[in-house]
């Protein structure tokens, strides 16, 4: 899957659109500017970089507007649209034939690339991204987005089972919309846990535990793991990446940084060892928002908290160090 991000940039009630250059693929179609998300880059970082490169402008990226997965000439593409505010810079024409600031009423006058029509529709309805899905029921593509969040939530919960409290991490594998593997870091089967007998430190690493990714590989049928989408907590180390690349899994996403010291991957190393197409992406996740959305849904019609008659309200409080 190829990940592409687009920015719906707003300035004084108008939105920035660009016409694709002649000779380019989809020439003369209008689009919301953006580009391909690189390895180890968040969609937000990608948009800031692309808008600097393509139009020479500085933006601030806000919340997600829509996500869409579609097939384009046999390739699966995931398009993520984000709201953004214009900060500075006079737009220049590097990658576009023409650009325009237009109001939502003018959207109909332009011939948009098909993939961008989802944003056009959203803009016509007014960007109601603050309305929770709970209120209007979950529809496509929000359902895809929601499944992604549920799978992250499941992955996170599994980390609490980790038995080495130097690091509680977990990973999961998704294939055909289902979780086919779930694991956390822990001791070998039948061996004592760090929690009970202490860590076994060698060169700054606890060698008693097996990394979550290694457990994922050994606990999941190879057929299921092959071409799956792996989610991981913490930056995967180079050793685990190599094992996952060997399966091979389709792509890997991780959230939350972890320093693996001498086994820490860098974008250069990834390219050199695993090749250009290896996909390791970082995701920023607001866990309070994520779990609140899940709990809100469960306080809505048919949800367990609805039947129990209460809602759960999450609060983020900084830890006292
Ligand atoms: Zn340990
Ligand atoms: Zn590892």
Cα 170 to averaged position of ligand 1 atoms, centre (Å): 14
Place of tokens 């808008």: 51
CA dist 158 to 114, 152, 229, Å? Answer: 39, 10, 17
Cα 71 to averaged position of ligand 1 atoms, centre (Å): 44
**Under 8 Å between Cβ of 129 and 64:** yes
Cα 161 to averaged position of ligand 2 atoms, centre (Å): 17
Cα 203 to averaged position of ligand 1 atoms, centre (Å): 13
Please report, to the nearest 10 degrees, the dihedral formed by the alpha carbons of residues 128, 130, 135, 140 taken in order.
60
Cα 161 to averaged position of ligand 1 atoms, centre (Å): 13
* Contact partners, residue 169, CB within 8 Å, separation at least 6: 159, 162, 184, 185, 211, 212, 232, 233, 234, 258
Q: What residues sit around ligand 2, an ion, with C-beta below 5 angstroms?
A: 211, 237, 240
User: Is the peptide bond between 122 and the residue preceding it cis, with omega within 30 degrees of 0?
Assistant: no
Cα 193 to averaged position of ligand 1 atoms, centre (Å): 8
pLDDT in tens, the chain (321 residues): 788 999 999 888 899 999 998 887 788 899 999 999 887 778 888 999 999 999 999 998 887 888 888 887 788 888 989 888 898 999 999 889 999 999 988 999 999 998 899 899 888 877 644 333 322 334 445 677 889 999 999 999 999 998 888 889 999 999 999 999 999 998 888 888 888 888 888 877 788 889 999 999 999 999 999 999 999 999 999 999 999 999 999 999 999 888 888 889 888 888 888 888 788 888 888 899 899 989 988 988 888 999 999 999 999 999 987
- Helix H, strand E, coil C: the string for 263-310 is HCCCHHHHHHHHCCCCCEEEECCCHHHHHHHHHHHHHCCCCHHHHHCC
Cα 241 to averaged position of ligand 2 atoms, centre (Å): 7
Report which bound ligand comes closest to the CA of 167: 1
Q: How far does CA 63 lie from the centroid of its chain?
A: 13
Cα 236 to averaged position of ligand 2 atoms, centre (Å): 5
Encoding tokens for residue 129? 């991204």
Cα 99 to averaged position of ligand 2 atoms, centre (Å): 46
Does pTM top 0.75 for this prediction? no
Cα 239 to averaged position of ligand 1 atoms, centre (Å): 18
* Contact partners, residue 267, CB within 8 Å, separation at least 6: 38, 39, 40
Residue 21 region by backbone torsions, left for phi larger than 0, else alpha for psi between -120 and 50, else beta: beta
- pLDDT tens digits, 167-193: 899 999 999 999 999 999 988 888 888
Report which bound ligand comes closest to the CA of 198: 1
* Contact partners, residue 119, CB within 8 Å, separation at least 6: 6, 8, 32, 65, 66, 81
């Amino acid at each position: 899957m190829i990940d592409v991000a687009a920015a719906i940039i707003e300035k004084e009630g108008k939105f920035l659109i660009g016409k694709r250059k002649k000779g380019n693929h989809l020439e003369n179609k209008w689009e919301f500017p953006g580009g391909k998300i690189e390895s180890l880059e968040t969609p937000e970082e990608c948009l800031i970089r692309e808008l600097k490169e393509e139009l020479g402008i500085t933006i601030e990226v806000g919340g997600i507007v829509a996500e869409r997965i579609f097939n384009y000439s046999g390739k699966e593409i995931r398009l993520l649209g984000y709201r953004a505010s214009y900060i500075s810079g006079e737009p220049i024409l590097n990658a576009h034939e023409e650009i325009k600031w237009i109001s939502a009423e003018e959207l109909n006058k332009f011939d948009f690339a098909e993939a961008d029509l989802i944003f056009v529709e959203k803009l016509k309805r007014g960007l109601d991204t603050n309305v929770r899905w709970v209120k209007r029921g979950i529809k496509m593509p929000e359902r895809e987005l929601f499944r992604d969040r549920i799978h992250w939530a499941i992955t996170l919960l599994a980390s609490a089972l980790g038995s080495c409290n130097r690091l509680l991490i977990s990973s999961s594998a998704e294939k055909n919309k289902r979780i086919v593997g779930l694991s956390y870091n822990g001791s070998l089967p039948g061996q004592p846990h760090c929690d009970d007998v202490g860590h076994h430190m060698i060169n700054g690493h606890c060698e008693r535990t097996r990394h979550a990714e290694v457990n994922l590989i050994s606990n999941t049928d190879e057929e299921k793991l092959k071409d799956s989408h792996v989610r991981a907590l913490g930056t995967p180390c180079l050793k685990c990446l190599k094992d996952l690349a060997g399966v091979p899994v389709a792509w890997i996403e991780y959230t939350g940084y972890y320093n693996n010291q001498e086994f820490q991957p860098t974008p250069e190393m990834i390219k050199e060892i695993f090749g250009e197409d290896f996909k390791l992406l970082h995701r920023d996740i607001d866990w309070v928002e994520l779990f609140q959305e899940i709990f809100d849904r469960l306080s809505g019609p048919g949800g367990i908290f609805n039947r129990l008659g209460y809602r759960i309200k999450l609060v983020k409080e900084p830890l006292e160090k």
